[in-house]
Structure 1
Amino acid sequence: MALNREIVLIHGTWCDGNVWGEFASGLHQMGYKVHTPSFRYHDLPYQDCLAKVGTVTLQNYRDDLVDLIESLDQPPLVLGHSLGCLVAQMVAEKTEVAGMILMGPAPTADIFAFYPTMLACFGKHFLRWGFWKKAMPPYKKEFFKYCMNEQEESLKEEVFAT
């Protein structure tokens, strides 16, 4: 049996496929054919993304990835990060994958995740009327404190600008 050399990297919230950077390059150097798709509309300029992404469902993200995976020569490994873990599991329910790697999964519905830090990071989003059909852009202070707390200030600014 040949070693599987296809891998699909699924990003998390507030990212796009470019977030994988050196990680994807390292996998490529190891001989993997690396796919780093962006969720629908996440690769658009910020304001365009903001205007469109609130209309998209997790099932849309899943379906886009299923289409990608089914276009490959063989079932790939699927690696998800954060929200990408949930989407990876949804993908694996719909199409064959060689395996999954789930890094820092977002909590599922049956996991209690209402902690003070989660409320501090995401709470403002749920105070907006109609939040369930709006984009969820990062708030800078919270993004820097809870998502990029170990990064250099210049990198925080660079990432936030995207």
Structure 2
Amino acid sequence: MNTEHSKPPVLLIHGMWATSAVMQEVKAAFEEKGYAVEALTLPFHQPKSTYDKAGKARLARASLQDYVDFIVARIRALEVAPILVGHSMGALLAQLVAARVACHRLVLLSSAAPGGINGWSWSMIRTLGRNLLLFPLWRRVTQLRAANIRYGVANSQSAATQQQILELATYESGMATFQIGVGGLFRGGFSRVDTDAVRCPVLVIGGSDDRITPFKIQQRIAAMYGDRAQLIKIPGACHWTVAGSYFPKIRTVMFRWLDA
């Protein structure tokens, strides 16, 4: 728990195909620094083995709006504005949330592309794999397989880390997958971030070897915020920036920025 009352609380937001379990290394890092931390699990997300048909149906139609409403409600229950730390889709959600409620700071790890930034690339398509063949996508659930993880999510991680990611992976909403994928092709849509409404400082961290949200996306996100943002490239790092081989460097960068 936080014994230094000057420090704002921290909310962690996981990415696609995940639960709060993937954020435990990030949570421990903040707790060691004296922060009070809550790792959120987004609505309808649960361990893959526990889903029944009805649970998968509920998740399939969950939207980015549902996720944002959930996080906003959690922030409004707090006494002070929090630091939001999001990974991948969670980093996109953090931006959408910060446009609606006051936040102390944003830490964006390998952020998914907001609306208006084209996130499509051959490496992203290959990472999503057969999920792109599902129809109608917005009524189905998507999932990661071992090949997707090895190629596009954790391509510069050890085999042990890749296996751990596979074991923690769950289903994701086809609706949310569709909104993120299509959102990059249009300036409108729910994945578009009103950057003028985001008033807090923003740290954008990306890996040089990220294949699903390449560093050029992180550059464009940072550019949206101008002087409010700091952009950091982690050489050799892939999309998996919440644990694994490159997290010690990422941890150092995060706390150096937070302490500045």
TM (normalized to structure 1)?
0.89
**What is the SS of the residue equivalent to 2:94?**
helix
* Kept after mapping to 2: 8 A contact 1:4/1:98: no
Look up the match of 2:132: 126
- Structure-1 separation of matches of 2:143 and 2:56: 7
Q: How far is 1:51 from its partner?
A: 4.4
- Structure-1 separation of matches of 2:88 and 2:15: 5
**What is the SS of the residue equivalent to 2:80?**
coil
The answer on 1:136 being equivalent to 2:139 is no
Q: How far is 1:52 from its partner?
A: 3.2
**What is the SS of the residue equivalent to 1:80?**
strand
Q: How far is 1:70 from its partner?
A: 1.1
The answer on 1:15 being equivalent to 2:18 is yes
Q: How far is 1:31 from its partner?
A: 0.8
What is the root-mean-square deviation in Å for CA atoms of aligned residues?
Answer: 1.8
The C-alpha deviation readout for 1:77-109, integer Å capped at 9, x for no partner, is: 111111111111111122221121212111123
* Kept after mapping to 2: 8 A contact 1:7/1:77: yes
Percent sequence identity over matched residues?
Answer: 24
- Structure-2 separation of matches of 1:139 and 1:22: 23
* Kept after mapping to 1: 8 A contact 2:8/2:104: no
Give 1:4's match in structure 2, choosing from 4, 7, 14.
Answer: 7
- Structure-1 separation of matches of 2:87 and 2:140: 22
**What is the SS of the residue equivalent to 1:75?**
coil
* Counterparts of residues 72-91 of structure 1 (less than 5 Å): 72-91=78-97
* Kept after mapping to 2: 8 A contact 1:50/1:137: no
- Structure-2 separation of matches of 1:36 and 1:147: 21
Q: How far is 1:161 from its partner?
A: 2.1
Q: How far is 1:25 from its partner?
A: 0.7
- Structure-2 separation of matches of 1:129 and 1:43: 23
Count of residues paired in the alignment: 161
- Structure-1 separation of matches of 2:86 and 2:67: 13
Look up the match of 1:103: 109
- Structure-2 separation of matches of 1:9 and 1:24: 8
The C-alpha deviation readout for 1:99-140, integer Å capped at 9, x for no partner, is: 212121111232222211011111422211111221111122
**What is the SS of the residue equivalent to 1:35?**
strand
The answer on 1:36 being equivalent to 2:39 is yes
